[in-house]
Chain A
Amino acid sequence: MNRFAQLLDRLQREPSRLGKLRLMTDYFRSAPDPDRGFGLAALTGALSFRYAKPGLVKALIATRVDPVLFDLSYDFVGDLSETVALLWPAGAAEEEDALPLSTVVRALSDTGKIDLPRVLAELLDGLDETGRWALLKLITGAMRIGASARLAKQAVAKLGGKGIDEIEDLWHGLALPYIGLFAWLEGREPRPITDDPAPFCPAMLAHALEEEELTDLPPAEFFAEWKWDGIRVQAVVGEKSGKVVRLFSRTGEDISAAFPDLVDMLASLPCRTVSIDGELLIRRDGRVQSFSVLQQRLNRKRVCAALLADYPAHIRAYDLLSLDGEDLRALPFFERRRGLEAFVACADTARLDLSPSIDFKSWDFLAAARRDPLAAGVGPDAAAIEGVMLKRCDSAYVPGRPKGLWYKWKRDPFTIDAVLMYAQRGHGKRSSFYSDYTFGVWHQTAEGEALVAVGKAYFGFTDEELGKLDHYVRNHTSNRFGPVREIAHGKEEGLVLEIAFDGVNRSSRHKSGVAMRFPRINRIRWDKPVREADRLEALDALLRE
């Protein structure tokens, strides 16, 4: 456990990506099987336990620490694993890696519900603070050490001098603790063979376009289409004594169970096997609905007939990754697109259509279309557009976010000037600073002109600005409600924040009746008088548009 704990601790302190890669590759090279496989699983988020859950950790610490003191500590630290690791009564330090990671993982996965609290407590007693922290990270899942699953896979790939794509291609067919993978990477065995009939292909993602980049890009070499505001999916049909249909999220999570309507449609497609990259949308009465409508389907736990009828799911196809056993990803985009057009044309279903292209000759023309999709002739679906996509016509389908091939050019955000009303401590990177801000705008209420809360933002600022905001919160607290601090706000005092956001939805959950999408702090208006902040009417106007 020591070795893995040290790895996590050094990773969270290492600022550079290369440094993190080196730390992980060193670990994979030096740690033995099967420990390193479990380490890889932990770093890629592939570990999960049936009974060892955060709730168990909370229950254990509750028997050792006063609950009030625990809550205050957790609020300050902002990370469950670290809070508990710090509060746990100090144990003896572990002898040089005496407790292998694999033993810990097996204890957490194989111990029954009754015995687990005792077993976990014994494990924690035998570790120092860093060891406890690392062990608890295995249980809480979210590592928050600044190393993504992809970076961990890259570190593994480096072990065998392979590219990350080779690992990604194999990944979904591999099983813990990846003995075959390591054997292949170390040149001891051939490449592992997976027999998954409907595998997930790691998705190709786009870079956000910086507008000044356009001057260097020739419009003729690019294909443009609308960026649809749904969820990106991969629909896969495979064969194994019958058809196997799977719907994956962008990250490879199998979400088929939530969309039986789409699974039925996919099973009826005129092909043996296919893999389609597209956007999952709700299409009602021939019209694509906004993201907030889609969210109402996504948020339900149970999929019932009424839900299926009221929120019919639909796939708008972007790309064709394979068809009838042939992998098309290496082909240029325009050839895949031609194949996709032909495929969708003979698919006899209303639930699958083609993402229409935007014909453009110049970037100025495209910029105008992006500003006003309705005027560009998109028709009744305009509400579900969040910008345009640019794809190099000759681009292969490359997993990850390769440079220079695909760009997303999102609609400009809206902004309002709002007033800071409440602050709370953040989690993860921002933990222990007051970094979650609730803000409001002016509104005429029964009691007169008042600020009503319209949203919450917890990013958009630099570390230096965070320091200043935290300082401001501490020095202008007018009231406390548990972990929430009320910040002095009124006509004469308060801080104005310029909030950027991507849209407004109607909301019955908020007192103001509106909910912003993706709000973030654009600027801190230290200079702006509070009475000049915006009014709720400004948001209502957006809602009506």
Chain B
Amino acid sequence: MRTGDLLALRPAGLYCEAGDFYIDPIHAVPRALITHAHADHARPGHEAVLATDDTLAVMAIRYGAAFAGETQAIGYGENLRIADADVCFYPAGHVLGSAQILVQDAGSRIVVSGDFKREADPTCAPFEPIACDTFVSEATFGLPIFRHSHSRNEIAKLVASLRLFPERTHLVGAYAFGKAQRLIALLRQAGHDRPIYIHGALEKLTEYYASRGIALGNVRKVTGATDLAGEIVLCPPSSTNDLWSRKFAEPLVAFASGWMRVRARARQSGIELPLVVSDHADWDGLCATAVETGCSELLVTHGEADALVHYAQTRGIAAEPLHFTGYGDDEATPAETAA
């Protein structure tokens, strides 16, 4: 890493010596800045955590109120000095509360994207490209085969399937935080006004989204032995094939993820209705973002880094994969989450 002065890669994650903090560390550390509340980026047990208020709230829901020694909320665009480093959080468009973190000192500006996407999302603030010298990007879908910024078409597929198979329960696997609520919001935008049913694991987070004024309509928790024929039921990916799913009427298993673009992925997971919806930037989004930040150096934390690095190099940007292995669970398919 050329930016060794301001940020360095340590076993726990990206570390800023000037401010003595980590960004999204995968082990407990004295001070952590958290981009967003997905479990692979936001781990419990840090002594001090700085994050947006939504990220802190979601971490408290998932880990309990005592998830960190102390917490501090920061708003988008608010500047904060930590020892010898200046930091500022900007919307990343990934999930509610998600942020890119700008770290700067007198010499350089580095933006750590965490996870991000460029497609509009009714459940979170849109991504803003931030000018910087070094952009630290994700690359979960860093291959030109991944193009998934047409969620509206995918939602239309789901609604059409409901019409075609009114006798079957449409069981949609979706990550519990972010993806599930976004699907509900997208269904509402598409005019689907029937009640939407959710697995118990999604309840608290969905309630939190509603409490933040996001229009989710009539959402009900699945209870009792009702078979919910012709209804949409959202559940965590790992529940689509387990015992819980058997009470429904001939469940038609759908799964929402960027991986669904590749047939074998859908087949390996036994998915009947693949929905190509992702909370990560697709190939075009990743490439455009690297260019729009005007960075002269691109570092890729995780995902399919090699192609993005190659692309950046052809555009005259120095680029390097970090091969960091702790991230990237939030799009996992049912086969992977079972593992």
Residues of chain A having any CB pair with chain B under 8 Å: 9, 12-13, 15, 65-66, 68-69, 72-73, 76-79, 82-83, 86-87, 133, 146, 428-433, 463-464, 466-468, 470-471, 474-475, 477
Chain A residues with Cβ under 8 A from B265's Cβ? 432
B248-299 contacts to A, CB under 8 A, are: 259, 261-268, 270-272, 274
Check if A474 sits within 8 Å of B270, measured CB to CB: no
- Distance to closest chain A CB from B314 (angstroms): 7
Q: How far is the CA of A82 from the CA of B261 in the complex (A)?
A: 10
The answer to whether B220 has its CB under 8 Å from any CB of chain A is no
Complex contact B325–A76 (CB within 8 A): no
B272 near A463 (CB under 8 angstroms)? no
Distance to closest chain A CB from B63 (angstroms): 23
14 additional contacts, CB 8 Å, given A13-B266, A86-B144, A467-B336?
A: A9-B263, A13-B263, A66-B311, A69-B310, A72-B143, A79-B264, A87-B144, A87-B145, A146-B267, A464-B335, A464-B338, A466-B335, A470-B336, A471-B339
B133: chain A residues at CB < 8 Å are none
Is B48 close to A, CB under 8 A?
no
Q: How far is the CB of B321 from chain A (nearest CB, A)?
A: 9
**Residue in contact with A464 in the complex, picked from B267, B272, B339, CB distance below 8 Å:** B339
Instruction: Please give the distance in Å from B263's CB to the nearest CB on chain A.
Output: 6
| Contact of A467 (CB < 8 Å), options: B262, B307, B311, B335 | B335
Would you call A463 and B268 a contact (CB within 8 A)? Answer: yes
Contact indicator B336/A72 (Cβ below 8 Å): no
Q: Are A467 and B264 in contact (CB under 8 A)?
A: no
Within 8 A of A (CB), among B171-186: none
In the complex the two chains form, what is the Cα distance from A433 to B143 in whole Å? 15
* CB-based contact A474/B307 at 8 Å: no
B304-317: contact bitstring with A at CB < 8 Å (1 yes, 0 no)? 10110011001000
User: Do A83 and B145 touch across chains, with their CB atoms under 8 A apart?
Assistant: yes
From the candidates B310, B323, B335, name the one contacting A463 in the complex (CB within 8 A). Answer: B335
Cβ A66 vs Cβ B268 within 8 A: no
Residues of B within 8 A of A474 (CB): 325
List the B side residues contacting A79 at CB < 8 Å. 263-264
A463 to B274, CA, bound (A): 19
CB neighbours (8 Å) of A72 from chain B are 143, 304, 306-307, 310
- In the complex, A86→B144 CA distance in Å? 8
A475:B325 contact, CB within 8 angstroms: yes
A458 and B278 alpha carbons, distance in the complex (Å): 30
- The verdict on A428 contacting B338 (CB below 8 Å), with A68-B310, A76-B143 known, is no
Q: Looking at A66, A77, A430, A467, which has the most chain B CB atoms within 10 Å of its CB?
A: A467
- The count of residues in chain B whose C-beta lies closer than 8 Å to any C-beta of chain A is 29
Interface residues of B, Cβ cutoff 8 Å to A: 143-145, 147, 259, 261-268, 270-272, 274, 304, 306-307, 310-311, 314, 323, 325, 335-336, 338-339
B268: which of A65, A76, A429, A471 is its contact (CB, 8 Å)?
A429
CB contact between B307 and one of A69, A432, A475 (< 8 Å): that residue: A69
Top 7 nearest A-B pairs (CB, nearest first) are A467-B339, A431-B264, A86-B145, A468-B339, A72-B307, A73-B145, A467-B335
A69 in contact with B311 (CB, 8 Å): yes
Closest partner residue, chain B, to A467 (CB atom)? B339
Chain B contacts of A475 at CB under 8 A? 325
Contacts of A68 in B (CB 8 A): 307, 310
Known contacts A467-B338, A475-B325; is-contact A77 B306 (Cβ 8 Å): no
A86 to B282, CA, bound (A): 13
Is the pair B143, A78 in contact by a Cβ cutoff of 8 Å? no
Contacts of A477 on B, CB cut-off 8 Å?
323, 325
Taking CB as reference atom, which chain A residue is nearest B311? A69
Name which of B143, B265, B311 has the most chain A CB atoms within 10 A of its CB. B143
Tell me the smallest distance from the CB of B273 to a CB of chain A, in Å: 9
Q: Which among B143, B268, B274, B338 is the interface contact of A69 at CB below 8 angstroms?
A: B143
Given A463-B335, A467-B338, A474-B325: A73 in contact with B264 (beta carbons within 8 A) = no
A68 CA to B142 CA, complexed, in Å: 13
Could you tell me the distance between the alpha carbons of A521 and B262 in the complex, rounded to whole angstroms? 26
